[in-house]
Every structure is written in C-alpha cells, then in structure tokens.
Amino acid sequence: MSRYSVLYYPDFHPDSRWLRRVLLLADEVSRIVPLEADVKDPDDLAALQATIPNCLRSVPPQGHDVTFEASDLSRFVKTFAYIRGLKKGKTGDRQELVVHIAPGGAVSVQGHVFLHDSKMSSAVREELARHGLLVDGLARRLGHHDYVIVDERASNVILAAIAAQMARRLGLDTITDRPLPFVVNSLGGLDIERAGGHGRAEGALLAALASLMIPSATARLALSDYRELRESYSGIRRAFQGLTAETSRINRLDRMEDPTRFRKGVEAAADELFAQYQTYRKSRFGKAFRAWVPMSIASLVAAGASALKWEPLATAGVSFAFKVLEKRIVRRDGASPHDATFQMIAGIRRDIVRRSAVAKLL
C-alpha cells in the first residue's frame, strides 16, 4: 500500500501542533533541508519524531531544483521589485536592520530569514542583491557561514518555487502552514509558483481540512496517546488521499492559474466538504455508524464481519473489507461516497476530546 507523503515548506521546523493534525491525515511529511545544513529541531518536534519515527523526513534540494527557466526568473524580478517598493514605502531609501539576540544566544533579524546558500542559484542571488533584498556578509559575521540573510517575503517566494519543482520531481503534494497561499497574501496577488504547480491543490486541501476537522486539542495529547490514536485510525490516510485528489479534480483546482481564484476555490471546496461532514454526523446513518470506531485497517475487517454476521471476514483481505464497507454505505439512503472517511474523522474527533484535558473540563 502506498504511503501518503507531502512536501512541507518554507521552514525547516513546522509547528509541532500543526504537524500533529496533518500527520493524522498523511503518513509522512518531508521538509526541504540541504545536506550541509546542521538542523537542530526544537524539543517538541524532536520528541514527536522520537515517538513516531520517519514522520518528518529531510529531503535535500538538487541543482536543477534551484535552477529556473527564463519565464520563472522574470517573475522573480517582478516580485522582488514589488517587495522593494513595499520596503521603500516604509523606510524610504534607508535600510535599517534590527537584530535580536535571545537569552540562549540565538540570533534573528527582524523581517528577514537565514536562507541556505544551496537554496539559491547565482541568478536569483544576483537579483536579490540588485533589489536590496539580501544582506551580504552579515550572516558570516554572526557565525552562519553557509547562509545569507534575505528579506522574509522574498525568501518565501524562492522556497515556494523550489518546493513546486521538487514536488514535481518527487511526485509529492506540497503543503504549508502559512495562510493559503501565503505568497499571494503577502505580495498583493503576484503568483511566483508556476501555474498548476504539482500537488499544490491537494496539499492546500489537506492543510485546510486538517484545520477544520481535526480539533486543536490534539496538541494536548500525551505523545503515547497520540501515537496510539494515530495507529488506530491508519485507514483514514489512504482514504483521505483519495478524497483530496477527487475534490481537486472535480473543482478543477489545479487548472486555476489566477492565485486569488485558486485560494477562493480551495476555501470553498474545504467548506463544502466540512458541510457534508456536518450533515453526515447529524444523519441517521452517521449516528448509527458511530459504534464502528476506531477504524484502523484491522478494525475495518472486524467491523465488516460483525455488521454482516460473516465470521470468515475476520481473516479476509483489507481490500475486501473496504468493498464491504462501500456496499453498506451505498445501500443507505442519502449516503455519500465520503461517508467512510467522515466516519473515521468523527471517531478521531471523539477520541481526541476523550483523551485530552478537554474531556475533564467538560
């Protein structure tokens, strides 16, 4: 069975609370980390990886991932010019840098990020310098020898384009924890990602639905409880991959070249799916089906055997169990093809509340 993997950008360290929600619906998340980069994860992210090995993989960019065609470079030039105009509007021709030094010695520069050299081609670096969006030499003086300090908005533009190229090469969906799409929100409608970027619609839907359907209380679960919960609902990840792909296809999201229409299309599709889920929960079928949780691969087989009173099903193949489940759904008036997925989401939500401190408060 194929694993549902997504490519995260723009940072090295996705927020662990956000990542917990996504990992209930995806098998693994990859992040863009150059081979030379020495990445030390925050304690909460390191603990999550220790509890669920290989849930967060590091994938290095290759030379052709950071090399862009002339049409892409022209978009960079236009976008960098737009950012430069925003900076001039605030400070005129002056460029002030505010450096923060944390108690532990970590250094940050307000409005800027440390971007690894291997994530930039020489052509992109030249354009950054020409538009005043790169602070040359300061990173080395601060002890970061393989990095340059770049305006954060410009860095996000570069990383979005790199992620799109890597996703096409690796066959992954792209995903980000920034508002969708963050490049458009921050740059007034200029879209640097190539039209129809690989998997951006499915990844955008995954991020939106994880926020809508998975309770934030997931972050309060003990790691052992979270691991057990995730293993119990292993079946949802394959089903969810099909759900996002079908939704993207039906709504023609990957054909939308206009970034504003794309954002609105993703939001509308996610809202519609959430509305279907809410209708399902209130339906007679949804209420009757609640006894079937949790829904791991193993429990799908057992649940199918119990529901149809066919004991031999307990040793049947997993694919047959899914077919049995589909037959049960089709036979119900008003059921939708997504009811199996909605059932598992309902079970996850219930178990998160039950296992978290929310249950005690209630």
> Three-state DSSP class for 192?
coil
Neighbour tally for 92: CB within 10 Å = 8
Note the pLDDT of residue 350. Answer: 87
pLDDT of residue 32: 94
- What is the SS3 string spanning 295-322? CCHHHHHHHHHHHHCCHHHHHCCHHHHH
Q: Which strand (E) or helix (H) includes residue 184?
A: helix 182-187
Distance CA 181, CA 179 (A): 6
Are 221 and 229 contacting, i.e. CB atoms less than 8 angstroms apart? yes
Cβ-contact 128, 150 below 8 angstroms: yes
Name 134's bridge partners: 150
Which pLDDT does position 195 carry in this prediction?
41
CB count in 10 Å sphere of residue 74: 11
CB 52 within 8 A of CB 27: no
Per-residue tens of pLDDT for the chain, all 362 residues: 578 899 999 999 999 999 999 999 999 999 999 988 888 899 999 999 999 999 999 999 998 899 888 888 888 898 899 888 887 766 555 567 777 777 766 777 888 888 888 888 889 999 999 999 998 787 777 777 788 889 998 998 889 889 989 998 999 999 998 875 566 656 666 666 554 455 688 998 999 999 999 999 999 999 999 999 999 998 899 888 889 989 999 998 888 877 778 888 999 999 999 999 988 888 755 565 544 444 444 444 444 444 433 333 333 444 444 444 444 444 445 556 688 888 889 889 889 988 886 545 54
The answer for residues whose C-beta is within 8 angstroms of residue 277's C-beta and 6 or more apart is 213, 338, 342, 345, 346
Q: What's the predicted TM-score (pTM) here? A: 0.78
Enumerate the domain spans of the chain: 65-156, 204-362
Q: Residue 287's pLDDT is what?
A: 60
- Give the H or E element holding residue 245: helix 235-251
Q: What are phi and psi of 124, to 5 degrees?
A: -70, -40
Q: Reduce the DSSP state of residue 257 to 3 states and report it.
A: coil
Q: Quick one: which of 150, 220, 170, 219 has its CA closest to 10?
A: 150
Joined tokens for residue 258: 């206009």
- Other beta carbons within 10 Å of 173: 24
Cα separation, 174 vs 172, whole angstroms: 6
Of 182, 203, 278, 183, whose CA–CA distance to 248 is shortest?
A: 203
CA distance 99 to 179: 26
E-strand stretches of 137-282: 147-151, 173-175
Dihedral sign from CA coordinates of 291, 297, 298, 300 = positive
Containing 353, the helix (H) or strand (E) segment is helix 339-355
Rounded to the nearest 5°, which phi and psi values hold at 60? Answer: -80, 145
Q: 326-340 burial string, b = 16+ CB within 10 Å, else e?
A: eebbeeeeebbebbb
Q: 3-class SS at 108?
A: strand
| Start-to-end Cα distance in the chain | 39
- Rounded to a whole number of angstroms, the CA Rg of the chain reads 23
**Amino acid identity at 315:** T
Please tell me the number of Cα atoms within 13 Å of 53 on its side-chain side: 0
Local structure of 324: helix, strand or coil: helix
